[in-house]
Chain A
């Protein structure tokens, strides 16, 4: 559906995107992640044909975004960052205007406008001026405008920025629903959102792809290095440290005192200490040997689990690695 072939973009002497290649098949939801200034918006603008690449080329539904720009644009729906709209227009007039730009006939247009108004929960405000609507509604109007002509490809730049948690949830549901038989590229800062919504994640930093894959696959790789957490009574902490250190496959055991919790589960209550166990090889699950060893030493274990990595950790790791590579 979308093919980027060795795409680079320079703004004068500044390189915004460098040698980007990816392919997005039909029906996939791709999350584009990256710190501010990583080249996300530039990449999206190049896919929509708003900006041409300096080098390389992009195709959307088989049409080159520059040479066959008009055909490529026809199969695209684009919601730019912060959903720019004509504030003086009424919602329904704006949608009809968009429909005319895409040459929808009167009957098709009326049906399409009705459909997107219902889909984006805008029916109640259809006669209101866009400028009088709240941020969440404006975002939905932008989304409705982008999907009005039923494009096979949707490009959404930060569709949830500035929304409250309930609206973010609604938008997520909407994107999931829209993705049915559509290709969606969505950029976001809210990582748990991306994790829940997207089939695939592309992390870019300094204009380069740093990670690309299904969230579960990317996280599985990170899981190999994630530590185990064991909670025992404070009085037995030192003994536990020695016992657990002797388990084969354990690299280090550290004691975190009560109150200095890891933050992932409930904070430690007085009288309990938490031990962080790292392994030498990530592939083997150490939970069982650890439990057996603790039971053998007659320790009272309140909790034993392995930290599950989040996309946020992956993101930070990728970004830090990138910073280390080019200071």
Chain B
């Protein structure tokens, strides 16, 4: 457990020792601030974070791969993976440590947006149910996307490939649900809808915390992380 924390801390700190971390934080905050003030914070509008959350789901398809792309690819390219995996640490611990760092970074991105909630509170009386549920939804969605990115990153030493692979995989699932599902046979359609996060996210945005959705995100994340761990171990049988 201490080793997991050690790896997570090193990874998290290293994100801020390179420009990538700061750039992602700055760009994201600028964009979400613009969306919030432009669409959410208007006279006569309900005091809700909904527009903010909606832009977030879309943004995560780009932001999550940007965070996760370097997790393993960077180490595979520079060779630092070798001293790391020859230390007495199991592969699964390395994967979980790095994943934890990525999730912590996502939380860091989200943390300043609590100021928006404070702003809403100052101006009117917001409904806290949908806000809390929305944050939880974003966190869960982010965890799923980051785990997909984690797997992609463990498969290649190229950060670009890891980013694009993750981005297109996430994008494709949503596009399929949007475009292919209405014309697909019922069996395929329900499968595509099940994979899509769109429906699940609008439930969260309405303030509905459905355990079905929570379990879906957690189990899917765990599944991708297990695959990433397996990918790291695969050098043993390749």
Contacts and interface: CB of A to CB of B under 8 A. Distances in A.
Interface of A: 11, 45, 48-52, 66, 70-71, 73-74, 76, 78-82, 84-89, 97-98, 100-103, 142, 145-146
Contacts of A88: 14, 17-18
Contacts of B84: 101
B6 A80 contact: no
Given A52-B236, A78-B82, A103-B2, A73 B87 contact: yes
A24 B238 CA distance: 28
Contacts of A74: 88
A84 B82 contact: yes
22 contacts: A11-B238, A49-B86, A50-B85, A50-B86, A52-B236, A66-B236, A74-B88, A76-B86, A78-B82, A78-B83, A80-B82, A84-B78, A84-B81, A85-B80, A86-B14, A87-B78, A97-B6, A97-B10, A100-B2, A100-B3, A101-B3, A142-B83
B79 A89 contact: no
Given A51-B236, A88-B17, 18 more contacts: A49-B86, A52-B236, A73-B86, A73-B87, A73-B88, A74-B88, A78-B86, A80-B83, A81-B79, A84-B79, A86-B10, A97-B6, A100-B3, A100-B6, A101-B84, A101-B88, A142-B83, A145-B83
B90 interface: yes
B89 interface: yes
Contact of A98 (B17, B87, B236, B238): B87
Contacts of A103: 2-3, 88
Given A86-B14, A88-B17, A89-B17, A101 B89 contact: yes
Secondary structure class of chain B's binding surface, majority of residues: helix
Contact of A84 (B6, B80, B236): B80
Contacts of A145: 83
B235 A51 contact: yes
B87 A101 contact: yes
Interface string B196-238: 0000000000000000000000000000000000000001111
B88 A70 contact: yes
A70 to B, nearest CB: 5
Nearest to B18: A88
B79 A102 contact: no
Contacts of B79: 80-82, 84
Interface string B13-29: 01001100000000000
A102 B89 CA distance: 8
Nearest to A12: B238
Interface string B47-85: 000000000000000000000000000000011111111
A101 B85 CA distance: 10
Contacts of A101: 3, 6-7, 84, 87-89
B144 to A, nearest CB: 28
A156 to B, nearest CB: 12
Given A82-B79, A97-B6, A89 B14 contact: yes
A80 B88 CA distance: 16
Contacts of B82: 45, 50, 78, 80, 84
Given A88-B18, A89-B14, A102 B80 contact: no
A84 B83 contact: yes
Nearest to B236: A52
A93 to B, nearest CB: 8
Contacts of B6: 97, 100-101
Contacts of A87: 78
Nearest to B77: A84
Nearest to B14: A88
Instruction: Specify which of B17, B18, B84 lies most central, judged by the most chain A CB atoms within 10 Å of its CB.
Output: B17
Contacts of B85: 50
A102 B86 contact: no
Nearest to A87: B78
Contacts of A45: 82
Contacts of A146: 83
Nearest to B90: A70
A151 to B, nearest CB: 11
Contacts of A80: 79, 82-83
Nearest to A11: B238
A172 B62 CA distance: 49
Instruction: Specify which of B10, B14, B81, B237 lies most central, judged by the most chain A CB atoms within 10 Å of its CB.
Output: B10
Contacts of B18: 88
Query: What are the 7 closest A-B residue pairs judged by CB atoms, nearest first?
Result: A84-B79, A88-B17, A100-B6, A101-B87, A84-B80, A80-B82, A73-B88
A116 B6 CA distance: 20
A152 to B, nearest CB: 14
A129 to B, nearest CB: 8
Contacts of A85: 80
B93 to A, nearest CB: 10
A59 B2 CA distance: 27
Nearest to A78: B86
